[in-house]
Chain A
Amino acid sequence: MKSDILRLLEENGKLSPDEIAVRLDLDVEKVEEVIEQLEDEQVIVKYCALVDWDKTDREIVTALIDVKVTPERGIGFDAVAKRIYKFPEVSSVFLMSGGYDLSVKVEERTMKEVALFVAEKLATIDQIQSTATHFMLKTYKKDGVVFNKGKQEDERLVISP
Chain B
Amino acid sequence: MNWEEVIAPRVREVPPSGIRKFFDLVSEVDDVISLGVGEPDFVTPWHIREASFYSLERGDTMYTSNYGLLELRREITNYLKKNYNVSYDPQGETLVTVGVSEALDLALRALVEQGDEVILPEPSYVSYKPSTILAGGKAVKVQTDRKNEFKLTAEALEEVITEQSKILILCYPNNPTGAIMERDELLEIAQVVEEHDLIVLADEIYAELTYGQEHTSFASLPGMKERTILFNGFSKAYAMTGWRIGYAAAPEPIIQAMMKIHQYTMLCAPIVSQKAALEALRNGRREVDKMTDAYNQRRRVITKGLNDIGLDCFEPQGAFYAFPSIEATGLSAEEFAERLLQEEGVVVIPGGVFGESGQGFIRCSYASSLEDINEALNRMERFIKKI
Partner-B contacts on A (CB < 8 A): 19, 22-25, 154, 156-161
Contacts and interface: CB of A to CB of B under 8 A. Distances in A.
B32 interface: yes
A159 B26 contact: yes
A142 to B, nearest CB: 18
Nearest to B20: A159
Interface stretch (B196-204, B246-254, B296-304): B296-304
18 contacts: A19-B301, A22-B301, A22-B304, A23-B301, A25-B300, A156-B37, A158-B26, A158-B27, A158-B32, A158-B34, A159-B34, A159-B37, A159-B347, A159-B349, A161-B17, A161-B126, A161-B127, A161-B175
B23 A158 contact: yes
Size category of the B interface is 20 to 34
Interface in B19-70: 19, 22-23, 26-27, 32, 34, 36-39, 41
B243 interface: no
B383 interface: no
B14 to A, nearest CB: 14
B22 to A, nearest CB: 6
B79 interface: no
A9 to B, nearest CB: 13
Q: Interface SS of chain A: helix, strand, loop or mixed?
A: loop
B33 to A, nearest CB: 10
What 4 pairs across the A-B complex have the smallest Cβ distances?
A23-B297, A159-B36, A160-B38, A161-B126
Interface centre among A25, A154, A160 (most CB of B within 10 A): A160
Given A156-B39, A160-B39, A161-B19, A24 B26 contact: no
Given A23-B300, A25-B300, A154-B41, A159 B127 contact: no
Contacts of A158: 23, 26-27, 32, 34, 36-37, 347
A158 B301 CA distance: 21
Nearest to B370: A23
Nearest to B353: A161
A159 B370 CA distance: 18
Nearest to A156: B37
Nearest to A7: B293
A156 B206 CA distance: 19
B155 to A, nearest CB: 29
A67 B37 CA distance: 53
B84 interface: no
A36 to B, nearest CB: 22
Contacts of B347: 158-159
Contacts of B32: 158
A156 B235 CA distance: 14
Contacts of A19: 301
A161 B301 contact: no
A159 B20 CA distance: 9
Given A23-B300, A25-B300, A159 B39 contact: no
B300 A160 contact: no
B159 to A, nearest CB: 27
B120 to A, nearest CB: 14
A161 B36 CA distance: 8
A144 to B, nearest CB: 12
- Interface centre among A23, A25, A161, by most chain B C-beta atoms within 10 angstroms, is A161
A22 B308 CA distance: 12
Nearest to B297: A23
B338 to A, nearest CB: 13
